[in-house]
Amino acid sequence: MSNTETLLEVRGLKKHFPLSRGRLLRAVDDVSFRVYPREILGIVGESGCGKSTLGRLILRLMEPTAGRVFFKGAEITALGRHRLSPIRGAMQMVFQNPFGSFNPRIQIAGALMEVCRYYGMSREAGAERIAALFADIGLSGDLLNRWPQELSGGQLQRLAITRALLSDPALLVADEPLSALDVSVQAQLLNLLLDLRESRNLTMLFISHDMTVVEYLCDRVAVMYLGQLVETAPAGELFSRTLHPYTRSLISAVPRLDAAGERERPAPKGETPSPAEEIPGCPFASRCSSAEPRCLRERPPVKEAAPGHLVRCFLVS
């Protein structure tokens, strides 16, 4: 993978939602990372840590409080609506719930054709594009004349992926696309995503709370806790040389077939603090069994512990 070209760069991105009495909910709090062409970057973390908000900010479905997003070198956070529209087709999103993502009053052919029209394709060009994607994605043509409510979750999620690929995007942001599906269907879709990376030159941001899925699918993984990235590393390294105590607790919470004995580490103590709480130090300090006094006082800086392995923890030398 080339580190010299960057498809997507996120710099200091923040989304703070105003609450009552002047308080702020820091859903995304100073997040920076890069994504390189044809890689799959996993964004992993517990419910409410800000993963979906991050995805929406990147696609500019939501305006950031601060920070910048660059796509193919162009700063999309600086573009007006008009100049943003050509970029819209180059970045697409697939959402968690396939059952809610198609209008129940429109047959599949109509739903897909509408997208083709939106991207300026003629009827013939749209039909050709749909047929090519159906072949790649393993969908039978007779689904075109069906209604969404007649289809299974797996079929609908394949159709949602088809719809996202109609505009031939370079980047796909997949927000927990498998979590509503049965395990056997999940496995098929994981392999489909890997095939599509090859056949369509896709780069992916794969949002998940499932460490097993992320380990299987992703080239690199960024671990998010309370709106911040606490550790980013190549997937193999993240699992074999885990540095952040929060990442360790996520990994040790996964039952592993190869683990003969008991879990190596206990789950972290206590509850995740509310993102509305102002935390001066490390966001994980209140739950970390190794925390020192300064962890509660100061926010740790990002350290590059090994090439491409970034971690925000005072305890890592």
Ligand X SMILES: Nc1ncnc2c1ncn2[C@@H]1O[C@H](COP(=O)(O)OP(=O)(O)OP(=O)(O)O)[C@@H](O)[C@H]1O
283 lies in the site for ligand X, by CB under 6 A: no
Of the listed pieces 43-51, 120-128, 130-138, 166-174, which binds ligand X according to CB under 6 A?
A: 43-51
User: Could you tell me the smallest distance in angstroms from the CB atom of residue 63 to Mg ion?
Assistant: 18
The pair of structure tokens assigned to 105 is 């009053």
92 binds, among Mg ion, ligand X, none (CB under 5 to 8 A by kind): none
User: Could you tell me the smallest distance in angstroms from the CB atom of residue 50 to Mg ion?
Assistant: 8
For ligand X, the binding residue among 24, 25, 84, 187 (CB under 6 A) is 25
Nearest to 192 by CA among 204, 209, 180: 204
Residues 314, 281: contact at Cβ < 8 Å?
A: no
53 lies in the site for Mg ion, by CB under 5 A: no
94 binds, among Mg ion, ligand X, none (CB under 5 to 8 A by kind): none
Nearer to ligand X, 17 or 36 (CB): 17
Please tell me the distance from the alpha carbon of residue 170 to that of residue 160, in angstroms, as a whole number.
16
99 binds, among ligand X, Mg ion, none (CB under 5 to 8 A by kind): none
Q: What are phi and psi of 15, to 5 degrees?
A: -135, 110
User: Could you tell me the smallest distance in angstroms from the CB atom of residue 218 to ligand X?
Assistant: 16
Nearer to ligand X, 27 or 159 (CB): 27
Nearer to Mg ion, 71 or 95 (CB): 95
The pair of structure tokens assigned to 266 is 């206990």
275 binds, among Mg ion, ligand X, none (CB under 5 to 8 A by kind): ligand X
Residues 196, 161: contact at Cβ < 8 Å?
A: yes
Which residues in 180-239 contact ligand X (CB under 6 A)? 209
Nearer to ligand X, 54 or 282 (CB): 54
User: Could you tell me the smallest distance in angstroms from the CB atom of residue 80 to Mg ion?
Assistant: 28
Q: How far is CA 87 from CA 51, 80, 218, 232, in A?
A: 22, 11, 25, 27
Burial (CB count <10 Å: 0-12, 13-18, 19+), residue 312: buried
Of the listed pieces 20-28, 47-55, 69-77, 297-305, which binds Mg ion according to CB under 5 A?
A: 47-55
For ligand X, the binding residue among 6, 9, 17, 24 (CB under 6 A) is 17
Residues 101, 160: contact at Cβ < 8 Å?
A: yes
Residues 163, 117: contact at Cβ < 8 Å?
A: no
155 lies in the site for ligand X, by CB under 6 A: no
48 binds, among ligand X, Mg ion, none (CB under 5 to 8 A by kind): ligand X
48 lies in the site for ligand X, by CB under 6 A: yes
51 lies in the site for ligand X, by CB under 6 A: yes
Tally Cβ neighbours within 10 Å of residue 266. Answer: 11
For Mg ion, the binding residue among 27, 52, 238, 251 (CB under 5 A) is 52
Of the listed pieces 47-55, 69-77, 99-107, 264-272, which binds ligand X according to CB under 6 A?
A: 47-55
User: Could you tell me the smallest distance in angstroms from the CB atom of residue 285 to Mg ion?
Assistant: 24
Burial (CB count <10 Å: 0-12, 13-18, 19+), residue 207: buried
Please tell me the distance from the alpha carbon of residue 115 to that of residue 167, in angstroms, as a whole number.
8
Please tell me the distance from the alpha carbon of residue 61 to that of residue 54, in angstroms, as a whole number.
10
Tally Cβ neighbours within 10 Å of residue 208. Answer: 23
Point out which residues bind Mg ion (CB under 5 A). 52
